[in-house]
Amino acid sequence: MSIEIKVPQLPESVSDATLVAWHKKAGDLVTRDENLVDLETDKVVLEVPAPASGVLQEIKIGDGETVLAGDVLALLEPGEGAATSEEPEEVKVESVAAGAAAPESDKHAKTSPAVRRLLDEHDLDDTMVIGSGRDGRITKADVLKFLKSDDSGNVTPGDPAPEIADSSQVVALERSEQRVPMTRLRARIAERLVEAQQTAAMLTTFNEVDLTEVMELRKRYRDSFEKKHGVRLGFMSFFAKASVEALKLFPVINASVEGTDIVYHNYYDIGVAVSTERGLMVPVLRDVDQMSFAQFESELGAIAKKAQDGAIGMEDLTGGTFTITNGGIFGSMLSTPILNQPQSAILGMHSIQQRPMVVDGEVVARPMMYLAMTYDHRIIDGKEAVQFLVTVKEQLEDPSRLLLQV
Protein backbone atom coordinates (compact mmCIF):
# COMPACT_ATOMS: atom_id res chain seq x y z
CA MET A 1 0.00 0.00 0.00
CA SER A 2 1.34 3.40 -0.98
CA ILE A 3 2.49 5.89 1.67
CA GLU A 4 1.60 9.57 1.28
CA ILE A 5 4.55 11.93 1.73
CA LYS A 6 3.09 15.14 3.13
CA VAL A 7 4.27 18.66 3.91
CA PRO A 8 5.27 18.60 7.60
CA GLN A 9 3.89 20.98 10.21
CA LEU A 10 5.26 24.42 9.35
CA PRO A 11 6.88 26.69 11.96
CA GLU A 12 4.65 28.99 13.96
CA SER A 13 3.53 32.12 12.07
CA VAL A 14 4.48 30.52 8.71
CA SER A 15 1.41 29.86 6.53
CA ASP A 16 2.94 28.24 3.46
CA ALA A 17 6.20 27.16 1.83
CA THR A 18 7.73 26.91 -1.63
CA LEU A 19 8.91 23.57 -3.01
CA VAL A 20 12.50 24.33 -3.97
CA ALA A 21 13.76 21.08 -5.49
CA TRP A 22 13.22 17.34 -5.55
CA HIS A 23 16.31 15.20 -4.94
CA LYS A 24 14.61 12.15 -6.45
CA LYS A 25 12.39 11.52 -9.46
CA ALA A 26 9.47 9.16 -9.94
CA GLY A 27 10.67 5.56 -10.12
CA ASP A 28 13.82 6.15 -8.05
CA LEU A 29 14.73 3.87 -5.18
CA VAL A 30 14.92 5.65 -1.82
CA THR A 31 16.05 4.67 1.66
CA ARG A 32 14.39 5.51 4.95
CA ASP A 33 15.22 9.01 6.29
CA GLU A 34 16.85 10.05 3.00
CA ASN A 35 16.06 13.68 2.15
CA LEU A 36 13.61 13.72 -0.75
CA VAL A 37 12.72 17.36 -1.20
CA ASP A 38 13.54 20.85 0.12
CA LEU A 39 10.80 23.29 1.18
CA GLU A 40 11.65 26.95 1.68
CA THR A 41 9.76 29.17 4.13
CA ASP A 42 10.30 32.84 4.94
CA LYS A 43 13.23 31.96 7.20
CA VAL A 44 14.35 28.33 6.95
CA VAL A 45 14.68 25.44 4.51
CA LEU A 46 12.86 22.30 5.64
CA GLU A 47 13.98 18.84 4.52
CA VAL A 48 11.32 16.17 3.97
CA PRO A 49 12.77 12.70 4.62
CA ALA A 50 11.50 9.39 3.26
CA PRO A 51 9.27 7.71 5.88
CA ALA A 52 10.37 4.26 4.65
CA SER A 53 12.57 2.54 2.10
CA GLY A 54 10.97 1.83 -1.25
CA VAL A 55 10.24 3.34 -4.66
CA LEU A 56 9.10 6.92 -5.21
CA GLN A 57 5.94 6.05 -7.11
CA GLU A 58 4.52 9.45 -8.07
CA ILE A 59 5.39 13.12 -7.52
CA LYS A 60 2.27 15.22 -6.96
CA ILE A 61 3.77 18.73 -6.69
CA GLY A 62 6.58 20.16 -8.80
CA ASP A 63 9.42 22.56 -8.19
CA GLY A 64 8.49 26.17 -7.49
CA GLU A 65 4.92 25.47 -6.37
CA THR A 66 3.47 26.79 -3.10
CA VAL A 67 2.38 24.21 -0.54
CA LEU A 68 0.54 24.16 2.79
CA ALA A 69 1.03 21.97 5.84
CA GLY A 70 -0.48 18.53 5.17
CA ASP A 71 -0.41 18.77 1.37
CA VAL A 72 0.51 15.48 -0.33
CA LEU A 73 3.86 15.87 -2.09
CA ALA A 74 4.32 12.35 -3.44
CA LEU A 75 3.42 8.68 -3.12
CA LEU A 76 5.94 6.10 -1.93
CA GLU A 77 5.65 2.36 -2.53
CA PRO A 78 7.38 0.76 0.46
CA GLY A 79 9.66 -2.24 0.01
CA GLU A 80 13.07 -3.62 0.81
CA GLY A 81 14.32 -3.25 -2.75
CA ALA A 82 15.59 0.26 -2.08
CA ALA A 83 18.67 -0.90 -0.19
CA THR A 84 20.15 -2.80 -3.15
CA SER A 85 19.59 -2.57 -6.87
CA GLU A 86 18.24 -5.58 -8.79
CA GLU A 87 20.59 -4.80 -11.68
CA PRO A 88 23.15 -7.59 -12.23
CA GLU A 89 26.71 -6.87 -11.10
CA GLU A 90 28.02 -7.29 -14.67
CA VAL A 91 25.75 -4.53 -15.93
CA LYS A 92 26.77 -2.19 -13.14
CA VAL A 93 30.47 -2.71 -13.86
CA GLU A 94 29.91 -2.14 -17.58
CA SER A 95 28.04 1.10 -16.89
CA VAL A 96 30.86 2.43 -14.78
CA ALA A 97 33.43 1.45 -17.38
CA ALA A 98 31.43 3.22 -20.05
CA GLY A 99 31.43 6.37 -17.98
CA ALA A 100 27.66 6.52 -17.49
CA ALA A 101 26.70 9.61 -15.52
CA ALA A 102 25.25 9.17 -12.03
CA PRO A 103 21.60 10.18 -11.64
CA GLU A 104 21.17 13.84 -10.77
CA SER A 105 19.47 12.88 -7.51
CA ASP A 106 22.52 10.86 -6.42
CA LYS A 107 25.03 13.52 -7.44
CA HIS A 108 23.68 16.22 -5.20
CA ALA A 109 21.77 14.41 -2.47
CA LYS A 110 23.40 16.43 0.32
CA THR A 111 23.51 19.88 -1.21
CA SER A 112 21.28 22.93 -1.12
CA PRO A 113 19.70 24.30 -4.33
CA ALA A 114 22.25 27.15 -4.51
CA VAL A 115 25.16 24.73 -4.17
CA ARG A 116 23.67 22.39 -6.79
CA ARG A 117 23.37 25.26 -9.24
CA LEU A 118 27.00 26.21 -8.64
CA LEU A 119 28.14 22.61 -9.12
CA ASP A 120 26.15 22.28 -12.33
CA GLU A 121 27.42 25.60 -13.69
CA HIS A 122 30.98 24.32 -13.43
CA ASP A 123 30.15 20.73 -14.43
CA LEU A 124 31.27 19.36 -11.07
CA ASP A 125 30.20 16.25 -9.20
CA ASP A 126 29.79 16.56 -5.45
CA THR A 127 32.20 13.63 -4.97
CA MET A 128 34.94 16.00 -6.14
CA VAL A 129 34.32 18.51 -3.33
CA ILE A 130 35.01 17.92 0.36
CA GLY A 131 32.07 19.15 2.45
CA SER A 132 32.65 21.03 5.69
CA GLY A 133 28.98 21.30 6.70
CA ARG A 134 26.84 19.16 8.95
CA ASP A 135 27.14 15.44 8.16
CA GLY A 136 29.61 16.25 5.41
CA ARG A 137 27.18 18.58 3.63
CA ILE A 138 28.78 20.67 0.90
CA THR A 139 28.46 24.43 1.33
CA LYS A 140 28.86 27.17 -1.26
CA ALA A 141 32.17 28.12 0.37
CA ASP A 142 33.42 24.55 -0.18
CA VAL A 143 32.68 24.75 -3.91
CA LEU A 144 34.27 28.18 -4.28
CA LYS A 145 37.36 26.94 -2.43
CA PHE A 146 37.57 23.96 -4.79
CA LEU A 147 37.22 26.20 -7.85
CA LYS A 148 40.13 28.33 -6.65
CA SER A 149 42.36 25.29 -6.16
CA ASP A 150 44.62 23.86 -8.85
CA ASP A 151 42.73 20.53 -8.63
CA SER A 152 39.68 22.06 -10.27
CA GLY A 153 41.45 22.63 -13.57
CA ASN A 154 40.30 26.25 -13.58
CA VAL A 155 42.51 29.31 -13.66
CA THR A 156 43.22 30.44 -10.12
CA PRO A 157 42.64 34.19 -9.55
CA GLY A 158 45.99 35.92 -9.95
CA ASP A 159 47.40 33.35 -12.43
CA PRO A 160 48.56 34.63 -15.82
CA ALA A 161 45.84 34.68 -18.44
CA PRO A 162 46.16 31.99 -21.12
CA GLU A 163 47.93 33.20 -24.24
CA ILE A 164 45.89 33.92 -27.37
CA ALA A 165 47.73 32.89 -30.52
CA ASP A 166 45.70 35.05 -32.85
CA SER A 167 43.78 38.21 -32.06
CA SER A 168 41.10 37.02 -34.45
CA GLN A 169 40.23 34.39 -31.86
CA VAL A 170 38.92 37.08 -29.51
CA VAL A 171 35.13 37.06 -29.61
CA ALA A 172 33.10 39.97 -28.26
CA LEU A 173 30.76 38.96 -25.47
CA GLU A 174 27.09 39.48 -26.20
CA ARG A 175 25.08 41.76 -23.94
CA SER A 176 22.55 39.79 -21.95
CA GLU A 177 20.45 39.90 -18.84
CA GLN A 178 18.77 37.36 -16.62
CA ARG A 179 15.52 37.66 -14.71
CA VAL A 180 15.07 35.42 -11.67
CA PRO A 181 12.39 35.51 -8.97
CA MET A 182 13.35 36.44 -5.42
CA THR A 183 13.67 33.57 -3.02
CA ARG A 184 11.11 33.53 -0.23
CA LEU A 185 13.81 34.55 2.23
CA ARG A 186 14.98 37.49 0.11
CA ALA A 187 11.38 38.62 -0.43
CA ARG A 188 10.72 38.42 3.31
CA ILE A 189 13.90 40.38 4.09
CA ALA A 190 12.80 43.08 1.63
CA GLU A 191 9.34 43.18 3.17
CA ARG A 192 10.67 43.52 6.72
CA LEU A 193 13.16 46.25 5.79
CA VAL A 194 10.50 48.34 4.09
CA GLU A 195 8.13 47.72 7.00
CA ALA A 196 10.76 48.89 9.48
CA GLN A 197 11.36 52.11 7.54
CA GLN A 198 7.64 52.81 7.26
CA THR A 199 6.84 52.01 10.91
CA ALA A 200 9.68 53.19 13.15
CA ALA A 201 11.10 56.69 13.50
CA MET A 202 14.65 55.54 12.83
CA LEU A 203 17.61 57.71 13.70
CA THR A 204 21.31 56.77 13.85
CA THR A 205 23.95 58.05 16.25
CA PHE A 206 27.69 57.49 15.79
CA ASN A 207 30.82 57.23 17.87
CA GLU A 208 34.27 55.72 17.57
CA VAL A 209 36.11 53.34 19.82
CA ASP A 210 39.82 52.77 20.41
CA LEU A 211 40.31 48.99 20.44
CA THR A 212 43.91 49.04 21.65
CA GLU A 213 43.14 47.42 25.00
CA VAL A 214 40.80 44.80 23.55
CA MET A 215 43.34 43.81 20.89
CA GLU A 216 46.17 43.59 23.42
CA LEU A 217 43.99 41.51 25.75
CA ARG A 218 43.08 39.14 22.93
CA LYS A 219 46.72 38.85 21.85
CA ARG A 220 47.89 38.17 25.42
CA TYR A 221 45.35 35.44 26.20
CA ARG A 222 44.32 34.16 22.76
CA ASP A 223 46.31 30.92 22.82
CA SER A 224 45.60 30.01 26.45
CA PHE A 225 41.90 30.86 26.01
CA GLU A 226 41.59 28.61 22.98
CA LYS A 227 43.58 25.82 24.64
CA LYS A 228 41.38 25.87 27.75
CA HIS A 229 37.96 26.41 26.18
CA GLY A 230 38.42 24.93 22.70
CA VAL A 231 37.11 28.07 21.00
CA ARG A 232 38.69 31.24 19.65
CA LEU A 233 38.36 34.53 21.49
CA GLY A 234 36.69 36.85 18.99
CA PHE A 235 35.68 40.50 19.00
CA MET A 236 31.95 39.80 19.06
CA SER A 237 31.98 38.54 22.66
CA PHE A 238 33.47 41.85 23.82
CA PHE A 239 30.84 43.85 21.95
CA ALA A 240 28.00 41.65 23.16
CA LYS A 241 29.07 41.85 26.80
CA ALA A 242 29.64 45.61 26.54
CA SER A 243 26.18 46.00 24.99
CA VAL A 244 24.56 44.03 27.81
CA GLU A 245 26.15 46.28 30.44
CA ALA A 246 24.89 49.34 28.55
CA LEU A 247 21.41 47.82 28.15
CA LYS A 248 21.23 47.37 31.93
CA LEU A 249 21.81 51.10 32.37
CA PHE A 250 19.36 52.11 29.62
CA PRO A 251 16.53 49.52 29.68
CA VAL A 252 14.39 51.34 27.10
CA ILE A 253 16.94 50.37 24.45
CA ASN A 254 16.25 46.73 25.33
CA ALA A 255 12.49 47.34 25.01
CA SER A 256 10.05 46.94 22.12
CA VAL A 257 6.90 48.67 20.93
CA GLU A 258 3.58 46.82 20.83
CA GLY A 259 0.77 49.09 19.69
CA THR A 260 0.74 51.97 22.16
CA ASP A 261 2.65 50.00 24.82
CA ILE A 262 6.35 49.83 25.59
CA VAL A 263 7.41 46.31 26.60
CA TYR A 264 10.50 46.28 28.83
CA HIS A 265 12.46 43.02 28.81
CA ASN A 266 14.36 41.97 31.93
CA TYR A 267 16.46 39.51 29.91
CA TYR A 268 19.12 40.01 27.28
CA ASP A 269 18.66 37.91 24.14
CA ILE A 270 21.14 39.23 21.61
CA GLY A 271 20.71 38.69 17.88
CA VAL A 272 23.89 38.52 15.78
CA ALA A 273 23.59 39.07 12.03
CA VAL A 274 25.05 36.19 10.01
CA SER A 275 25.60 36.22 6.24
CA THR A 276 24.59 32.96 4.53
CA GLU A 277 24.27 31.84 0.92
CA ARG A 278 20.49 32.27 1.26
CA GLY A 279 20.72 35.81 2.65
CA LEU A 280 21.12 37.60 5.96
CA MET A 281 19.90 35.80 9.08
CA VAL A 282 19.87 36.96 12.69
CA PRO A 283 20.10 33.98 15.06
CA VAL A 284 19.51 34.82 18.72
CA LEU A 285 21.68 33.93 21.72
CA ARG A 286 19.61 33.72 24.90
CA ASP A 287 20.53 35.22 28.30
CA VAL A 288 23.86 36.64 27.17
CA ASP A 289 24.21 38.39 30.54
CA GLN A 290 24.62 34.98 32.17
CA MET A 291 27.24 33.71 29.70
CA SER A 292 30.99 33.71 30.07
CA PHE A 293 33.09 34.86 27.13
CA ALA A 294 33.83 31.23 26.27
CA GLN A 295 30.16 30.23 26.41
CA PHE A 296 29.20 33.11 24.15
CA GLU A 297 31.89 32.34 21.56
CA SER A 298 30.99 28.64 21.59
CA GLU A 299 27.25 29.21 21.18
CA LEU A 300 27.78 31.88 18.55
CA GLY A 301 29.98 29.55 16.50
CA ALA A 302 27.45 26.73 16.76
CA ILE A 303 24.39 28.79 15.81
CA ALA A 304 26.22 30.60 12.98
CA LYS A 305 27.20 27.21 11.52
CA LYS A 306 23.58 26.08 11.71
CA ALA A 307 22.55 29.18 9.77
CA GLN A 308 25.22 28.70 7.11
CA ASP A 309 24.41 24.97 6.75
CA GLY A 310 20.69 25.68 6.33
CA ALA A 311 19.89 23.72 9.49
CA ILE A 312 18.62 26.62 11.58
CA GLY A 313 15.08 26.59 12.98
CA MET A 314 12.52 29.32 13.56
CA GLU A 315 13.09 29.10 17.32
CA ASP A 316 16.70 30.20 16.71
CA LEU A 317 15.62 33.33 14.82
CA THR A 318 12.88 34.79 17.01
CA GLY A 319 12.59 36.61 20.31
CA GLY A 320 15.72 38.78 20.34
CA THR A 321 15.74 42.04 22.29
CA PHE A 322 18.79 43.73 20.68
CA THR A 323 20.87 43.08 17.56
CA ILE A 324 24.53 43.47 16.63
CA THR A 325 25.67 43.48 13.01
CA ASN A 326 29.28 43.53 11.81
CA GLY A 327 29.75 45.05 8.38
CA GLY A 328 33.46 45.37 9.13
CA ILE A 329 34.13 41.79 8.07
CA PHE A 330 33.24 42.88 4.53
CA GLY A 331 35.31 46.07 4.74
CA SER A 332 32.55 48.52 5.65
CA MET A 333 33.89 51.75 7.12
CA LEU A 334 30.54 53.23 8.15
CA SER A 335 26.88 52.40 7.68
CA THR A 336 23.43 52.99 9.16
CA PRO A 337 21.88 49.63 10.06
CA ILE A 338 18.11 49.13 9.83
CA LEU A 339 16.12 48.00 12.87
CA ASN A 340 15.27 44.35 13.31
CA GLN A 341 11.68 44.91 14.42
CA PRO A 342 10.08 44.71 16.92
CA GLN A 343 13.43 45.56 18.52
CA SER A 344 14.12 49.22 19.17
CA ALA A 345 17.85 49.41 18.52
CA ILE A 346 20.67 47.79 16.56
CA LEU A 347 24.44 48.25 16.94
CA GLY A 348 26.62 48.34 13.84
CA MET A 349 30.29 47.38 14.00
CA HIS A 350 32.71 48.35 11.23
CA SER A 351 36.25 47.73 10.04
CA ILE A 352 39.20 48.42 12.34
CA GLN A 353 41.68 50.89 10.89
CA GLN A 354 44.87 52.45 12.19
CA ARG A 355 44.22 56.18 12.43
CA PRO A 356 46.16 59.09 13.97
CA MET A 357 44.72 60.01 17.37
CA VAL A 358 45.77 62.56 19.97
CA VAL A 359 46.59 60.75 23.24
CA ASP A 360 48.01 62.74 26.18
CA GLY A 361 48.96 65.55 23.83
CA GLU A 362 50.77 63.30 21.34
CA VAL A 363 49.66 62.02 17.95
CA VAL A 364 49.80 58.22 17.88
CA ALA A 365 48.41 55.50 15.62
CA ARG A 366 45.52 53.62 17.20
CA PRO A 367 43.21 50.82 15.95
CA MET A 368 39.90 52.65 15.63
CA MET A 369 36.41 51.48 14.77
CA TYR A 370 33.34 53.55 13.99
CA LEU A 371 30.20 52.46 15.85
CA ALA A 372 26.68 53.21 14.64
CA MET A 373 23.49 52.65 16.58
CA THR A 374 20.14 53.00 14.87
CA TYR A 375 17.24 53.40 17.28
CA ASP A 376 13.49 53.94 17.31
CA HIS A 377 13.02 57.61 18.19
CA ARG A 378 9.40 56.93 19.13
CA ILE A 379 10.51 55.58 22.50
CA ILE A 380 14.25 56.32 22.71
CA ASP A 381 15.46 59.89 23.13
CA GLY A 382 18.69 61.09 21.60
CA LYS A 383 20.24 61.54 25.05
CA GLU A 384 19.68 57.88 25.94
CA ALA A 385 20.99 56.69 22.58
CA VAL A 386 24.16 58.76 22.82
CA GLN A 387 24.80 57.74 26.42
CA PHE A 388 24.25 54.09 25.55
CA LEU A 389 26.85 54.26 22.78
CA VAL A 390 29.29 56.13 25.04
CA THR A 391 28.88 53.38 27.64
CA VAL A 392 29.68 50.71 25.05
CA LYS A 393 32.75 52.74 24.04
CA GLU A 394 33.94 53.06 27.66
CA GLN A 395 33.52 49.34 28.31
CA LEU A 396 35.55 48.44 25.23
CA GLU A 397 38.32 50.97 25.79
CA ASP A 398 38.78 49.61 29.33
CA PRO A 399 37.71 45.94 29.05
CA SER A 400 38.54 45.27 32.71
CA ARG A 401 35.26 47.05 33.39
CA LEU A 402 33.47 44.13 31.73
CA LEU A 403 34.92 41.74 34.27
CA LEU A 404 34.14 44.00 37.20
CA GLN A 405 30.77 45.10 35.71
CA VAL A 406 31.40 48.77 36.53
Instruction: Give the catalytic positions in this structure.
Output: 377, 381
The Cα 86–Cα 215 span in angstroms is 63
Is the separation of the CB atoms in 73 and 61 below 8 Å? yes
Our CA angle for 317, 322, 325, nearest 5°, is 80
Q: How many CB atoms lie within 10 A of CB 185?
A: 20
For the chain, what is the HEC assignment? CCEEEECCCCCCCCCCEEEEEECCCCCCEECCCCEEEEEECCCCEEEEECCCCEEEEEECCCCCCEECCCCEEEEEEECHHHCCCCCCHHHHHHHHHCCCCCCHHHHCCCECHHHHHHHHHCCCCHHHCCCCCHHHCECHHHHHHHHHCHHHCCCCCCCCCCCCCCHHHCCCCCCCCCCCCCCHHHHHHHHHHHHHHHHCCEEEEEEEEECHHHHHHHHHHHHHHHHHHCCCCCHHHHHHHHHHHHHHHCHHHHCEEECCEEECCCCCCEEECEEECCEEECCEECCHHHCCHHHHHHHHHHHHHHHHHCCCCHHHCCCCCEEEEEHHHHCCCCCCCCCCCCECEEEEECCCEEEEEEECCEEEEEEEEEEEEEEECCCCCHHHHHHHHHHHHHHHHCCHHHHHCC
**What residue type is 257 in one-letter code?**
V
Amino acid, res. 240: A
